[in-house]
Amino acid sequence: MSGYDAFEILTKEYSLKLATGNKDFEAVKEVRAEVFAPKYKMSREYLENKGYLFSNDDHQSFIFLLQHRPTGRYVGTVRNFFINSKTTVQHMPMQKDGHVEGIERLTQALPICEISRMALSNDLPSYKNLSQLQLRTYLTLGLMIATRINFFLYRYATIFAIMEPSLHRILSRQGVNFEQIGEPVDYYGMRTPFAIERNKLLNETEAFMGTITRHYLKQLCNDPKPFWDFIDNNPYLDRSDIRLDKICELFKSYGEDVDHALLLGEKEPSLHLA
């Protein structure tokens, strides 16, 4: 899997966007219904009534959509459920719904995030000579890159996920090195809880995912209004929480190749800017 192929697929054939309004949230529900109804053998009505298509947790989240650009169809989505000092819910879905226990020692430094509700259509348009399995692998990583974009914008301390073995294998092969933090639980099938520190994830995935992440961060800088409207309308977030303005300043001062450590906020910019 080459970096160039990934860039072409995940920026030209497909695109990533943050769901910021009701129209986007309806698209999120459509993708979830398409994927979850057959997977869990539940009707759409049942999923809707149980809050699996959209729930209060989704209002405490950044949710991303994956769109097939030639057709405009949304084919994937992923949720970054966050907890900070203002949020109503102070336990992650893996704790309150999946009954993962004994991880409280890892959840004290806020904000934290759980990656959840990842869904990818089973009916993907063909692309060049890629098999469906190869394409699905690329797009699964694309949904992970969507969460990576969010981690630059909002300084989580730790990222959590509860994963099926197949997803963990796909991510591990691309250097996404989550650490197992508990025993598998039966949560819509057997899943295992994992965690990773924010900077560890961002640094270890920079080689493969960095160029695509920068592409989307620069897009946000070019048209930030929908993003800021989303922040302003979210009761649990303030503009001061978000690093977008800082990131945009760095792109403006240093160009395409701005130091990764600067984007992360690991070091201060030089006084002598280009």
Question: Please, what is the Cα angle at 196 between 114 and 113, to 5 degrees?
Answer: 20
pLDDT value, residue 105: 93
> Which two three-digit tokens encode residue 189?
């099938």
What pLDDT, in 10s, does the model give residues 176-195? 889 999 999 998 889 999 99
- Whether residue 167 contacts residue 153, with contact meaning beta carbons closer than 8 Å, is answered with no
Confidence class for position 173, pLDDT limits 50, 70, 90:
confident
What pLDDT, in 10s, does the model give residues 190-225? 999 999 999 999 999 998 899 999 999 999 999 999
What is the DSSP pairing of strand 179-180 with strand 61-68? unpaired
What is the model's pTM?
Answer: 0.93
Domains of the chain listed by start with CATH number: 3-264 (3.40.630.30)
Q: Is a pLDDT exceeding 90 seen at residue 273?
A: no
Region of 269 (left: φ > 0; alpha: ψ -120 to 50; beta: rest) is beta
- Whether residue 266 contacts residue 199, with contact meaning beta carbons closer than 8 Å, is answered with yes
pLDDT value, residue 1: 52
What pLDDT, in 10s, does the model give residues 81-123? 999 999 999 999 999 999 999 999 999 999 999 999 999 999 9
pLDDT value, residue 220: 96
What pLDDT, in 10s, does the model give residues 8-38? 999 999 999 999 999 999 999 999 999 999 9
Q: List, as one string, the DSSP characters of 141-194.
A: HHHHHHHHHHHHHB--SEEEEEE-HHHHHHHHHTT---EE-S--EESSSEEEEE
pLDDT value, residue 171: 85
